[in-house]
Amino acid sequence: MKAAWEGIVAIATGFATTLKHLFRKPITEEYPEYKRVLPERARAVIILTRDPDGEERCVACYLCSAACPVSCISMQSVEREDGRRYARWFRINFGRCIYCGLCEEACPTSAIQLTPYFETCERDILKLVYEKEDLLVDHGGKDKEYNFYRYAGVVSKVGDKGAHIKEDKPVNIKSNMP
Amino acid sequence: MNWIVGFIILIIKLGVVLVGLLLLAAYLVLVERKFLARLQIRYGPNRAGKFGLLQPFADTIKMLTKEDIVPAEADRVIFLLAPAVVAIEALLIFAVVPFGASITLLGKKIPMVITDLNVGLLYVFALASLGVYGVALGGWASNSKYSLLGGIRGAAQMISYELSLGLSLVPIVMLARSFSLVDIVRAQADYPFILVQPISFIIFLISAVAETKRIPFDLPEAENELGAGYHTEYSGMRFGLFFLGEYVNLQVLGALVAVFFLGGWHGPLLPPVVWFLLKVLAVAVAMIWVRGTLPRLRYDQLMHLGWKVLVPVALLNIVVTGAFLLI
């Protein structure tokens, strides 16, 4: 008898709870009218950024392409007269991209980055293939000050051997004997 | 001449009831989705039309234009027949449900019921048990283990709860001294039977929810165990027919509760038909509230409740009612 009474009380409590919820304001965020501000590091559409000097950061090293688990990144690397590498063409197929962010982690120059913008629906799937012009932007993305060539010990117009940040001057091995 | 007029009136009544039932079923889906959503602090469908009022039409168009798949190795004839059985069985029950007192039009008395069978209650039970054929056959013919399990569960559940459903109505028949649904409503002119038969009412409600396979008794279509149970393999409008049958069944449930316990069309001020509709909708909304609150029973709990609680209590109720009537 006690168990039956407890059961009835339990069921009645449940009904009271749902009835209370009936008069609460729904917590739904109605999407097209209300757009939640996504965090800066949310992962959606991929961009190719530029360094503070306005040069393309991408050095076409293929690391992002190799890291990509769905093989949606492809490019062709070429070398400029001053020795700096860049991508002749760069293509991301967003029809395949899973927005995992592994390309961003693999990138040594912070060139490829994911942005919070995600509204890229298309009726034609081929429109989801983005070329280099579509990907390239005029800012540094999340890492504004970084310039790969100021750190890397590569001779370019940014600096000669020993002119890079945290780099010692070259040692003359002929005068360095004990 | 008289025969022709009667025939025309019958056809008109059939048309009104059929269209009304289908429209109400379509909008019950919307009411259920909206109300359930509010119980869960959501909005529910609100994109198609104002407040989502066009949602039923959008759903119908979607289901009609979907691909109609019959699985390979399925028992084709039975597979195609099963959804129709479910929908037709649910619709046919309304043939004996009285919507209001008879009205007089142009000197002719028109009863507000399609046919006043003197064994209407038995007719309702016969059709309600036929409904299990749609479920069991659909589950069998799909050639899928989930469907088969759903069909078996449906059959077992229906057999168990048919018993307490029938027994719970025996006291009503004893009080009204008639099997006709019209006479049962007339017997409640002074007071609805829920006041004198509350135990009967509760047993009937629980058994009827189990008969319509709604939560908390939705084991035949338990989606998190069986995919979708007996209609796993159905697509397009054939699934739509199962769905339609389910919501017509919800109206049947509301109508039967109204007729047997809430006094049918009786009520002050408003016209009889409006009272009847209000009672049906009230029961339907209560059922949705139940769905939003209670979790699904386990299979052994379901059988325990049916055989060890409802049937003995219903039998005891009959004995007590009989004793009171004799005194």
pLDDT (tens digit, 9 = 90+) per residue, A118-170?
Answer: 888 889 999 999 999 889 998 888 888 888 888 877 777 777 777 788 888 88
Peptide bond into B216 cis (omega under 30): yes
Phi, psi for residue B230 in degrees, rounded to 5: -65, -20
Work out the minimum CA distance from B40 to partner chain A, whole angstroms.
7
What kind and span of H or E run contains A87? strand A85-93
Closest chain B residue to A11, measured at CA: B294
Identify the segments of chain A with pLDDT beneath 50: none
- Facing A24 at nearest CB: one of B41, B289, B294: B41
- Beta carbons of A170 and A161 less than 8 angstroms apart: yes
pLDDT value for B107: 67
CB contact under 8 A, B294 and A14: yes
Work out the minimum CA distance from A48 to partner chain B, whole angstroms.
37
* Residues of chain B contacting A26 with CB distance shorter than 8 Å: 37-38, 41-43
Phi, psi for residue A15 in degrees, rounded to 5: -65, -35
Average pLDDT per consecutive 10 residues, chain B (327 residues; last block may be shorter)? 79 85 86 88 85 86 86 84 85 82 70 77 85 84 85 86 87 84 81 83 88 82 80 83 85 86 79 84 88 86 86 89 84
Residue bearing tokens 């509204």 = A119
Work out the minimum CA distance from B178 to partner chain A, whole angstroms.
34
What kind and span of H or E run contains A46? strand A46-48
In chain A, the N- to C-terminal Cα span, in Å, equals: 99
- In CATH terms, A46-147 corresponds, of 2.70.98.20, 2.30.29.30, 3.90.170.10, 3.30.70.3270, to 3.30.70.3270
pLDDT value for B71: 83
CB contact under 8 A, A15 and B293: yes
- Asked if B39 is an interface residue toward chain A (Cβ–Cβ < 8 A), one would say yes
* Residues of chain A contacting B43 with CB distance shorter than 8 Å: 26, 28, 30
Question: Rounded to whole angstroms, how far apart are CA atoms B6 and B12?
Answer: 10
pLDDT value for B127: 86
Which residues, 6+ apart, have CB-to-CB distance to A143 below 8 Å?
Answer: A49, A110, A113
Is 0.95 exceeded by the ipTM? no
- Facing A26 at nearest CB: one of B43, B289, B292: B43
